[in-house]
Structure 1
Amino acid sequence: MTGLAQVRQALHGLQQAGLRRTLRTCHSACAPQLTVSMAGQDASPMLAFASNDYLGLAGHPALRAALIEGVQEWGVGSGASHLISGHYAVHEALEARLAASQAAHIPQAGALYLGSGYLANSGLLPALAALAPSEIFSADLNHASIIDGCRLARCPAQVWPHQDLAQLAAQLQASRAQQKIVVTDAVFSMDGVIAPLAALLALCEEYDAWLVLDDAHGFGVLGAQGHGALEHAALHSERLIYLGTLGKAAGVGGAFIAAHADLIEWLRQKMRSYIFTTASAPALACALLAALDLIEGTEGRTARAHLQDLRTSWQSMALPDCWPRLTSPTAIQALLLGENQAALDLSHALWRRGVWVPAIRPPTVPAGTARLRITLSAAHSLADLQRLQHALQAIHREGL
């Protein structure tokens, strides 16, 4: 069998298993109302519950203006990696602002700005493990970037079952590693569950471990000021290593790591995904500074309150019992379908009615737990939720 024949056979296998993903093309700016096309189809208007733009900032006029001003001042590209010549004053200002956002929770906090959350997780764990002989303890529903970071760390790694703190405690107690690293999503991206943050920190204090929190889906949304999971749980410790992404609630792109300034300096020296990549465009940092102003200000508080109202309304809406809702206190709301084809069929039925809700299947979620992942945005209205509800009810009446 030739190489291409093997590729085609593998693609056919994905198709048969209901695991082949479909690329959709957006023809308008990120918003609940989008114009979208799929291969071989004309673009059509869609009501989207598919993005992570939780505060509706991706198209905000203030961010647009800041980005344009940033391009005028700083040009387009950074020209090099941060440690060569690609680190600009506006990058430094952004890192200082991000460190300040976590300063109430991490003593002597510093911050490192990177191009994506994937770069952050895949680089952080290997650099941290290089400090001393280490063992990593990873939550079993962690994001793929954390899993890859564990592999790249090239040290023993154990997986602890979802929310099973007794098992984690037993693993930590049995470990003889010089350095222990506990890593978890703060908000699990496929079901919206918040990790037991205070209890995790207590275990790390007891067993002398770092606690790495990937707050990709909490930064901007959780906490009175939108500072994320540490603010939400009122945590404070020098053991905390906090990762927030900036392409979700912040509406732009990139990620940051906040930790004690000494550890941040170590990461700057040793983190390969930071050292060996071109720095993000400085104009993006200008847009992110504007986003932080909105997140921390009146507009951010209003958006978070509206998001909470939408979540409460959605959870009270009548839906067919055959598609159970997963309980979540966040903007991530999911309907459990179980089988891959069932999730695809329901997603396609909604698409035909002009509503876009992605079907999530393995390996993103465990086998047998395929679902529709509904993500709410402050840019949604109650009428948008009612349209989704009515579409689901109509599909059920028609016998799907």
Structure 2
Amino acid sequence: MSEKFEWINEEMEALKQQGLKTHIRTIGSACGPWMVVDGKKVLNFCTNNYLGLANHPRLKEAARAAVQIWGVGPAAVRSIAGTLELHRLLEERLAAFKGVEDALYVQSGFCANQAAIPSMVGKGDVIFTDRLNHASIIDGCRLSSARVVVYEHCDVEDCERAIKENLGEYRRALLITDGVFSMDGDIAPLDRLFELCERHGIITMVDDAHGEGVLGRGGRGIVDHFQLNGKFDLEIGTLSKAFGVMGGVIAGSSTVIEWIRQKARPFLFSSAVTAADTAACLAAVDLLEEGTELVERLWENTRYFKEGMRGAGFDIGASVTPITPVMIGDATLAQNFSRMLFDSDPGIFAMPIGYPTVPQGKARIRVMISASHSREDLDLGLDIFTRIGKSVGVIG
């Protein structure tokens, strides 16, 4: 390797020594409760497939049919020649599902934050953001050139302090919070944050990537959970988790969404989502609107698994959602624990999470529960976790 890249070798070695070097496994099958990973069939406790829709026959059939009609790619950005009838139909359906006037469908949840934030605020404005907000929110804030003021995690009093100290100095203000925090599984106090913003005339925005399909009536999300439908100014979502497909959504009033259509760079300068993905998303909305069985099964599985983990002596943090962080602490131990889970017979696919995704000393194994897990799957997982936890001293 050229000397000019020798620093990469040094930094990579440092990551390895700290237990922070990411090992990327390769998937050899469709996403489901059991998957082939690195050539081995394992119990999947790793993906965000909350409702088991990623390999659902109705979604697959919708995607196949769409390819026959629309082809494999739109070959254009949405604003020039890439907006299909399917895109507009999905936007209308998602807006109705969320109880708002309009919605914009973009390439991913990450793109949704990069599209929405710089469209709403810029130089001379201020953003109030939760300390543990997702990386896509952090990057969207940076792109906006607005002043960024961080308040302590889910701390409404600290948020109010930050607002009072800064509000009068800026043109516009935007508050952004994750709805469900993806590493800890706790939820934002959205009702209290909304009341605070209403008092001070602040634009409100929530990223509900891990709340859609999970919280609210029939999986309508955290805004519905707090009965704030149509009141929160911007609701960001993803179609890649509970919906099982791909894409992001920005939902809100027709005035705000039309403005974002005019200004959002991911919408204006990156090709539209494929017809196959869009049709599969529509099929997912159909399933969610038809009944609540999948959401109820997800929560039943969540309660069962969490009770079993607590009973075994594991620390699973403050999660109130299907996200189940198994707190380990040391990053190297978390990596070893994950490796032992995978190498067991049968193996469990559950990846370690360490710094900088979570703070130093807060490494964990993040378990993601799905409606597609059977009771036998959950019992097997509990047994293997308990055996390995005892063997490495994480539990007694």
Using the size of structure 2 for normalisation, the TM-score is 0.95
CA–CA distance in structure 2, aligned partners of residues 220 and 263 of structure 1: 24
Counterpart for residue 326 of structure 2: 335
Contact 2:182 2:210 in 1 (8 A): yes
CA contact (8 A) 2:230 2:252 kept: no
Residues 1:215 and 1:52: Cα distance change in structure 2 (over 3 Å): same
Q: Are 1:122 and 2:122 an aligned pair?
A: no
Q: Does the 8 Å contact 2:218/2:295 carry over to 1?
A: no
| Match of residue 40 from structure 1 | none
Of residues 235, 240, 247, the one that matches 2:233 is 240
SS at match of 1:225: helix
What's the secondary structure of 2:7's corresponding residue? helix
Structure-1 separation of matches of 2:62 and 2:29 = 20
1:320/1:396 contact within 8 Å kept: no
Instruction: Quote how far apart the aligned CAs of 1:166 are.
Output: 0.5
Distance in 2 of aligned mates of 1:227 and 1:210: 21
* Residue 319 of structure 1: how far off its partner (Å): 5.3
Taking the aligned partners of 1:397 and 1:129, their CA distance within structure 2 comes to: 51
What's the counterpart of residue 74 of structure 1? Answer: 70
**Contact 2:108-2:246 within 8 A present in 1 as well:** yes
Question: In structure 2, the residue corresponding to 1:26 is in which secondary structure?
Answer: coil
Corresponding letter in the other structure for 1:4: F
Pairwise CA RMSD of aligned residues?
1.5
The equivalent of 2:88 in structure 1 is 92
Deviations 1:163-210 (A, max 9, x none): 111110111122222211000100000111111111010011011111
1:4 aligns with 2:15: no
Which runs of structure 2 are paired with 1:272-283 in the superposition (5 Å)?
272-283=265-276
**Partner AA of 1:205 in structure 2:** E
CA-CA distance at 1:339 after TM superposition = 1.3
More deviation in 206-215 or 7-16?
7-16
1:388 counterpart (367, 381, 384): 381
Unaligned stretches of 5+ in structure 2?
Answer: none
- Residue 153 of structure 1 aligns with an amino acid whose one-letter code is S
1:297 aligns with 2:290: yes
Instruction: Give the SS at the match of 1:190.
Output: coil
Counterpart in the other structure of 2:105: 113
Q: How does 1:53-64 map to 2 (within 5 A)?
A: 53-64=49-60
Quote the residue 2:79 is aligned against.
Answer: 83
1:267 has 2:260 as partner:
yes
1:133-152 correspondence to structure 2 within 5 Å: 133-152=124-143
CA distance in 2, matches of 1:398, 1:204: 49
SS at match of 1:355: strand
Structure 1 residue runs of 5 or longer lacking an equivalent are: 38-42
Aligned length: 388
Q: Report the more deviating stretch, 246-255 or 132-141.
A: 132-141
Give percent identity, aligned residues only.
Answer: 37
Q: Pairwise mapping of residues 130-209 of structure 1 onto structure 2 (< 5 A)?
A: 130=122, 133-174=124-165, 175-176=167-168, 177-209=170-202
Counterpart-to-counterpart distance in 2, 1:319 and 1:332: 14
Mark the CA change 1:394 to 1:225 in structure 2 (over 3 Å): closer, same or farther. Answer: closer
Distance of 2:229 and 2:251 partners within structure 1: 13
What is the distance in 1 between the residues matched to 2:372 and 2:74?
32
Q: Tell me by how many angstroms 1:322 deviates.
A: 6.5
1:339/1:370 contact within 8 Å kept: yes
Tell me whether 308-317 or 50-59 shows the greater mean CA deviation.
308-317
CA distance in 2, matches of 1:125, 1:73: 35
Letter in 2 for 1:390: D
2:338 and 2:352 in contact (8 A); partners too: yes
Structure-2 separation of matches of 1:118 and 1:384: 31
